Amino acid sequence: MPAAEAGPAPPDGDGPGELNATFYTSNNLVPAYAREQLQPIEATLLERNHQALRGRVLEVGCGTGRVTRALVEISPDAEIFGIDISPEMLAYCAGSIPGVSYELRDMREVVAHAAAPFDAVIAPHNVIDAVDHADRVLTFAGLSAALNPGGLLIFSSHNRGFPARTPVGEIPRALGSGNLRRSVASLVRLPRRLANHRRLRRHEVASAEYEIRNDSAHDYALLHYCIDRDAQRLQLSAQGFELLACVDPDGEPVAAGESAEAWPSLHYVACKVAVRTPPVTAGG
């Protein structure tokens, strides 16, 4: 997530999904996100899988159109749909990138959005990580139901193997490292960071399968789900997906058993299998 100046964090919600959603719908983050460019690894994955992007394509969390624009350029004849929970970012995206169908919708409600199955779903920028474990399972189940057999799911997710800047339950540090300007800015924002972290730390989780971390994004105002490659493969398999590729931001494959600890996020490509196995519920 990009650094951005945002207003005070909203009151605590029922859990990570509601809290994060409230933050994104209560703050106009268009200026911060509109500056972002397509990442090289994202461009590579879109190009490698351009054949699957020629039909009905759904982008989950289209934001200000960083990936949407690339989808339109790669597949000008595709039927592209974009959903997001932020009215401001959705309006910006719709105003700057025509030819796409946009809808204000939560990713946990993808099935309700799908009038017909999709051939591919893109979920960039770790958007899948904005909810808790139960809602993550629900989201993957919905994406599976919304895809045609053989359809692709391309997404990124926070890597649990990457050391947390602020370990679960610990207090954010006051100063940046090696840069006076950053250190001063960090010190000025420290009260807000501490207040946000104290409010949200009770939602942090460290389980055998995953972690939910209150990381430094937007001055510790958010909670993010973190998972490693092997646990992610099992989650996908439980919802009818076969993992085709897991790569780091340099495009290097991440093999089974590897933690890829140098990278905060990993990128995945999965295929919906023709015959779906019974899903595993959040408590399973």
Predicted confidence (pLDDT) per residue in 161-212, tens digit: 999 776 766 767 655 556 667 666 677 888 888 999 999 999 999 999 999 9
CA distances from 189 to 7, 27, 31, 173, 176 (A): 12, 17, 19, 11, 11
* Amino acid 58: pLDDT: 96
pLDDT tens digits for range 94-108: 999 999 999 999 999
Averaged pLDDT, 248-275: 95
| pLDDT score of 274 | 67
The answer to whether residue 20 scores a pLDDT higher than 70 is yes
User: Does the structure show a pLDDT above 60 at 280?
Assistant: no
The yes-or-no verdict on residue 3 having pLDDT over 50 is no
Provide the angle, in degrees to the nearest 10, between the axes of the packed helices 40-48 and 66-74.
Answer: 30
Our CA angle for 9, 14, 16, nearest 5°, is: 65
Say yes or no to pLDDT of 13 above 70: no
Which secondary structure element, helix H or strand E, spans residue 152, and what is its range? strand 147-159
Q: What is the average pLDDT across 1-23?
A: 64
Amino acid at 267: H
For residue 284, what pLDDT band results from cuts at 50, 70 and 90? very low
Q: What is the pLDDT of residues 206-216, one digit of tens each?
A: 999 999 999 88
| Confidence (pLDDT) at 188 | 81
- pLDDT-derived band at 114 (thresholds 50, 70, 90) equals low
Q: CA 118 to CA 58: how far, in whole Å?
A: 7
Is 283's pLDDT higher than 50? no
8 pLDDT tier (thresholds 50, 70, 90): very low
What are 121's strand-pairing partners?
Answer: 58, 153
- pTM here is 0.87
Identify residue 152 by its one-letter amino acid code.
L
